[in-house]
Structures are given as C-alpha cells and as structure tokens.
Amino acid sequence: MPDWVWPAGLGVLGAIVGSFLATLVIRWPQERSVVGGRSACDGCGRTLRAWELVPLFSALASRGRCQSCSVTIDPRHWQIELGCAALGVISGIAVPGPIGVAGAVLGWLLLALAALDVAEFWLPDRLTGALAAMGLVSMSVAPPAWPDRVIGGAAGFLSLWLIAFAYRRVRGREGLGGGDPKLFGAIGLWVGWAMLPFVLLLACVIGLAAVLASRLRGQAVAATDWVPFGALMAIAAYPVWLVMVASGL
C-alpha cells in the first residue's frame, strides 16, 4: 500500500470521528443523548439534513450558522473535526501503517479529553478508561514493550495521586482534580515509564506559556486560579509519543 494512503485515509476518518467526538464533548456534560435521536439545530430544533452533517464541509458551506434560524453553531464542532483530521494526517505521515492508526486513536481520545477538561474541568472515567484500554491494545503494533507500559501506568497514577494527597494534607484544599492521576496513568500505558517525565515537563512548559500569554493580554492570573492540567497533559502526550515511536526510542 502506498504511504500516501495512510495520511489520506486517517485524515478522512479523523474528520468523521471528530464529528462524533464533538457531539460527545458538547452533549455529554449537558446529560443529553450522544448517540440517540436525529441531529438537530440547538437554536430552533430543526432536524438537520444530510448535507449539513458532512464533517468540515457543512460548517464551511453554512458559514457556521443554522440555515433556518441563523443561530451560530457551536464552533467546537468544526474545531474538533479539523483537529482530529489533522491528527490523522500527522500520524499517517510520521508512522504510516498500523502504528499510525494507533497514534491517530491516541490523538483523537486525547483531544476529546482535553476539550472536556478545558470546558468543564472534567475528565470522565469512561473516556480515560478507553484511553487506557487502547494503550494496552496498541502494544501489539507499537512500542514500548508491555513491562514498560505497565510500570508507566502505575507510576503515572501513583505519582500524581501522591502529589495531590500531600498537597491536600499540607494546604487543606484540593490541588489536583481526581481525574488527573487517572489520565497520567493512562498516558503511561501508551508511552511507558521512561517518557512520563517528558510528558510532565512539556505539560508544565505549555501551562507556563499559557499563563504568560494571559498576562501579556492584561488578564489577571492568581495562584488560586484553576488550570485544566489534564488538558495540558493530553496536549503534551501526543507529541512525546510521536517522537518516541518515530525515532525508535
């Protein structure tokens, strides 16, 4: 199979998967059905036609608005679709073949978790569990070996859980969300124990850059402000995994 087939196929598949994940990210926190019923406009309730459900194309054709009531469609629909398509293309180019498929799945799940954490400060156990399960499945086609993954899963969870426990005992308040250690453990099942420090370091660098950008825009930043640390880890984990498998580490 020519190498170009992998990024092309994973890009198209990513846009389709992104359409579902965008619906999940938007509806799940509202306790709305994700898979049941026909897709409808959130403004007027009109059932959407087939051409209005084509990933990316529909948002472009409608200019991001409902054709009946002109209400702005949540931009997360096309943003997540575009993000998943891009992740599929990148994975297919960097590591064409089954490893690229595994990388695309990793990126798609991490993107959904990051989007939920940014919007809701919520890392659902079922989605984190799916990430962990797929990490174990991916060992059949991608490095590292299963001992490194198992140690990485345990080390990822325990390290952040102990930090959260110590912070709570010393400061008397929560310092990390309950989903953060679970997410770090799931990431460890993908990258192994040796790459976990790089994920954590990159997440902190991204977080500091975001805080600095906020300060430069004149926004006040306090030490007690909540930061979606799970989203930062999710953003950092994909490039670390990609570098690891592409370089054969």
What confidence tens digit (pLDDT) does each residue in 74-87 have?
899 999 999 999 99
> What is the average pLDDT value for the chain, to the nearest integer?
91
List, for residues 210-247, the tens digit of each pLDDT value.
889 888 888 877 766 788 999 999 999 999 999 999 88
Q: What pLDDT is attached to residue 44? A: 73
Backbone angles phi, psi at 47, to 5 degrees: -65, 130
Q: What pLDDT is attached to residue 101? A: 97
**Average pLDDT of the residues in 59-64:** 82
Q: What pLDDT is attached to residue 223? A: 65
Q: What pLDDT is attached to residue 8? A: 97
Give the span between the Cα atoms of 39 and 22, in whole angstroms: 12
Q: 15 near 89, Cβ under 8 Å? A: no
Give the span between the Cα atoms of 116 and 113, in whole angstroms: 5
pTM of the shown model: 0.93
Give the residue carrying structure tokens 């110590």. Answer: 166
Has residue 156 got a pLDDT over 70? Answer: yes
Q: What pLDDT is attached to residue 211? A: 86
* 114 SS3 class: helix
Burial class for 74, CB neighbours closer than 10 Å (0-12, 13-18, 19+): middle
Q: What pLDDT is attached to residue 224? A: 67
Name the pLDDT band for 143 (thresholds 50, 70, 90).
very high
Which amino acid is located at 30 in the chain? Q
